[in-house]
Amino acid sequence: MSQTLYYSTNLKANKVDFKGALLKGLAPDGGLYMPESIPVFTGSEMGSFRSMAYYDIAYQVARKYLHEEIEDSELLGLVKDAYNYDVPLENVYDKKYIMHLDQGPTASFKDFAARMMGRLMQYFLKKENNNLLILTATSGDTGSAIANAFYGLDNIRVVVLFPETEVTERQRKQMTTLHKNVQIISIDGKFDDCQALVKTAFNDAELKFLNLSSANSINIGRLIPQSIYYFYAYSRLCDITKEEKILFSVPSGNFGDLMGGLIAYKMGLPVKKFVVATNKNDEVPEYFLTGNYKTIVPSLNCISSAMNVGHPSNMARIVALYGGVMNEKGEVIRSPDMEAMKRDMFTISIDDKETLDTLKMVYNRHGVLLEPHGSVGWAGLRHYFDFVPEDHTAEQVAVCLETAHPAKFPAEIQDILGFDPELPESMVGLEEKEEQFVKLKNNYDIFRQYLKSNY
Ligand SMILES: *Cc1c(COP(=O)(O)O)cnc(C)c1O
C-alpha cells in the first residue's frame, strides 16, 4: 500500500497528505480535497468483514488511507472509541431494509463523520503538541453533532454560536448541557448573523493565535467515515462469494453521505445502483436529466429540512470522481462522464406530500417508523423499482439509509400518525440536565473581545 495524497477539485493547489487536508478543511484555491487514487479491497478482504464488528470494519477501511500517517494500534483505538453504538438494519419486506444511522449521541447520521473526524484531529494535534479552536455557527443540528463529537477531547476546544430564537429547546439542550471543552453562545440575531460573526473571526488577523478551524461538512475527515456503513450493510446482508450486488437509497442534501457511498463503490464494494433521492431542491436530478447544472437560490423549504440545499457542496467531488471539474460557484469547467454517472446513480426528487404519504404508508403497511429524510429515501427506492421492475425481485438486497431518529420530528409524526415517537437513549433525561451558555449581542467587537479574554 502506498501513501494516498489529496488534490484540490479546483486543481490549483498543492497536493497534501491526509493530516494537511484534515486540518486545512478547504484547499487554498477554494476547492475540496479528494484522494488522488482510491485504494481497493479484494473480494476476500471484504468477505472477512462478515464476522467483524462495526469498528473493526471502520479500522479496515480507514487503514487503507491512513496506514502511513497513523500507527495501527492508535487507529484501532480511535475507531473503537468513535463507534460505541449500534447500527441497526431493520427488515421492511423481502430483502429490503432500513439502516438506522441514528443511534449516536445526537441521533443523526452526522455523528458517524463528526466523531471520527474529531478523534483524527485530536490524534494529529496531540502529536504536534498543538491546539485548535473549533468555531462554528448552527441553526440546530450540525452544531450539536460537532459539540457532542468533540466533547471531552484533548487539545481541541469548541465554540458554537446559535441564534437565540431559531433553535428548538431540544436542539439547544443537546449543546448547552455538555460543558467541559464545549462553550455555547446564543446571539440575539439570526442564523446568518451567527455565520457572519464566525466568518469575520476567521479573517481576523488579531485572532490568528487561536488556531481556528471550522470542522464543516466539506472536510475530507468526514468522507472516509461516511463510506464505512456501506461496507457494513453489505457485510451483514450479502454474500460476496455469490457475487451479490446491493442497492442503496440515499436521501441527499449536501451529498456527503452519497459521496461516502461512491467512494465505497470505487473501493470495490459490489453496488448495483445508488438511488439518490432529494426533496424539491432538485438541482441534481435536473442535471442528470438535462446535462445543465443550475443552483437553486434561495433553496426551497421542505419538511426534510436538513436537505434544503440548492447547491450541494460535495457536487464538486462527485463531478471530480467522474473526470470533470466544477468550481465552488457550481460552474462546470470540464464535463464529467455523464453516461457513467447515470449507470451508477438513479436520481429522483420527492415533494413534501409524497414524503408524508410514504411515512404513513411504511408505518401502516410494514410497522416501520421513518422520519421525513428517511421517507424521501424510501420513496426514491419505490420510484426506482417502478422504473426498473426487473430489479424488484424478492432476492435483490436493497438498503435505504435513515439519517435521523423520528423523535427529532415529534410534531410531524404526531400530525401524520397521531402518537409521540419514543425518545432514543441519547435524548432521555435531557430536560433535567443543567444548561450553561453565554448570551452575547450580535456585535463583532463584543464577540472578538469574548474570544480574546476567554481563550
Ligand atoms: C445532513 C443530513 C442529511 C443530508 O446529508 P448530506 O450528506 O448533506 O447529503 C440528511 N438527513 C439528515 C437528518 C441530515 O442531518
CA-nearest residue, atom 14 of ligand 1:
306
Amino acid at site 77: G
Which ligand 1 atom minimizes the distance to the CA of 252?
Answer: 9
Residue of 257, 315, 350, 408 with the most ligand 1 atoms within 8 Å of its CB, for mutation: 257
70 part of a folded domain: no
Phi-psi region of 43 (alpha: psi -120 to 50; beta: other; left: phi over 0): alpha
Ligand 1 centroid distance, CA of 116 (Å) = 17
Q: What does the block give as the cell for 188?
A: 440575539
Which ligand 1 atom minimizes the distance to the CA of 371?
Answer: 13
The owner of cell 426551497 is 300
pLDDT given at position 148:
93
Give the span between the Cα atoms of 57 and 400, in whole angstroms. Answer: 20
Which ligand 1 atom minimizes the distance to the CA of 141?
Answer: 15
Ligand 1 centroid distance, CA of 420 (Å) = 23
22 part of a folded domain: no
Q: Is the pLDDT of residue 317 over 90?
A: yes
Residue of 102, 106, 108 with the most ligand 1 atoms within 8 Å of its CB, for mutation: 108
Share of the chain above pLDDT 70, in %: 100
Domain with residue 325: its CATH number is 3.40.50.1100
Cis omega (within 30 of 0) on the bond before 389? no
1 part of a folded domain: no
147-178 pLDDT tens trace: 999 999 999 999 999 999 888 888 899 999 99
| Nearest in space to 181 (alpha carbons), one of 200, 153, 209 | 153
Ligand 1 centroid distance, CA of 328 (Å) = 20
Amino acid at site 64: K
Give the span between the Cα atoms of 69 and 222, in whole angstroms. Answer: 17
167 part of a folded domain: no
Which ligand 1 atom minimizes the distance to the CA of 254?
Answer: 8
364-409 pLDDT tens trace: 999 999 999 999 999 999 999 999 999 999 999 999 999 999 999 9
104-143 pLDDT tens trace: 999 999 999 999 999 999 999 999 999 999 999 988 778 8
397 part of a folded domain: yes
Q: Is the pLDDT of residue 343 over 90?
A: yes
Tell me the mean pLDDT in the region 418-422.
Answer: 95
Ligand 1 centroid distance, CA of 241 (Å) = 33
* Total domain count, the chain: 1
Residue 412 main-chain phi, psi, to 5 deg: -65, -45
- Kindly indicate the confidence band of residue 431, based on its pLDDT and cuts at 50, 70 and 90: confident
Q: Is 91 helix (H, G, I), strand (E, B) or coil?
A: strand
Tell me the mean pLDDT in the region 435-455.
Answer: 96
Give the span between the Cα atoms of 340 and 334, in whole angstroms. Answer: 15
60-115 pLDDT tens trace: 999 999 999 999 999 999 999 999 999 999 999 999 999 999 999 999 999 999 99
Ligand 1 centroid distance, CA of 306 (Å) = 5
411 part of a folded domain: yes
145 part of a folded domain: no
Give the span between the Cα atoms of 352 and 375, in whole angstroms. Answer: 10
pLDDT given at position 217:
74
Residues with CB under 6 A from ligand 1: 108, 110, 141, 251-257, 306-307, 373, 403-404
Residue of 142, 218, 284, 403 with the most ligand 1 atoms within 8 Å of its CB, for mutation: 403
Ligand 1 centroid distance, CA of 308 (Å) = 9
Give the span between the Cα atoms of 193 and 386, in whole angstroms. Answer: 45
- Kindly indicate the confidence band of residue 216, based on its pLDDT and cuts at 50, 70 and 90: confident
Domain containing 225 equals 86-107+220-417
119 part of a folded domain: no
Which ligand 1 atom minimizes the distance to the CA of 374?
Answer: 11
Which ligand 1 atom minimizes the distance to the CA of 304?
Answer: 11
Query: Greater confidence, 305 or 322?
Result: 322
Residue of 32, 307, 408 with the most ligand 1 atoms within 8 Å of its CB, for mutation: 307
Which ligand 1 atom minimizes the distance to the CA of 257?
Answer: 7
Ligand 1 centroid distance, CA of 325 (Å) = 24
pLDDT given at position 191:
86
Residue of 254, 400, 408, 412 with the most ligand 1 atoms within 8 Å of its CB, for mutation: 254
Element (H, E) at 34: strand 33-35
| Average pLDDT of the residues of the chain | 94
Query: Greater confidence, 250 or 212?
Result: 250
pLDDT given at position 117:
95
Q: Is the pLDDT of residue 426 over 90?
A: no
Q: Which residues lie across from 34 on neighbouring strands?
A: 7
- Three-class SS string for 156-202? EEEEEEEECCCCCHHHHHHHHCCCCCEEEEEECCCHHHHHHHHHHHH
The Cβ-side half-sphere exposure at 432, using a 13 Å CA radius, reads: 2
Tell me the mean pLDDT in the region 179-208.
Answer: 92
Residue 215 main-chain phi, psi, to 5 deg: 50, 35
Which ligand 1 atom minimizes the distance to the CA of 253?
Answer: 9
Residue 276 main-chain phi, psi, to 5 deg: -110, 110
Which ligand 1 atom minimizes the distance to the CA of 309?
Answer: 8
- Kindly indicate the confidence band of residue 1, based on its pLDDT and cuts at 50, 70 and 90: low
Q: Is the pLDDT of residue 264 over 90?
A: yes
| Nearest in space to 86 (alpha carbons), one of 360, 337, 424, 418 | 424
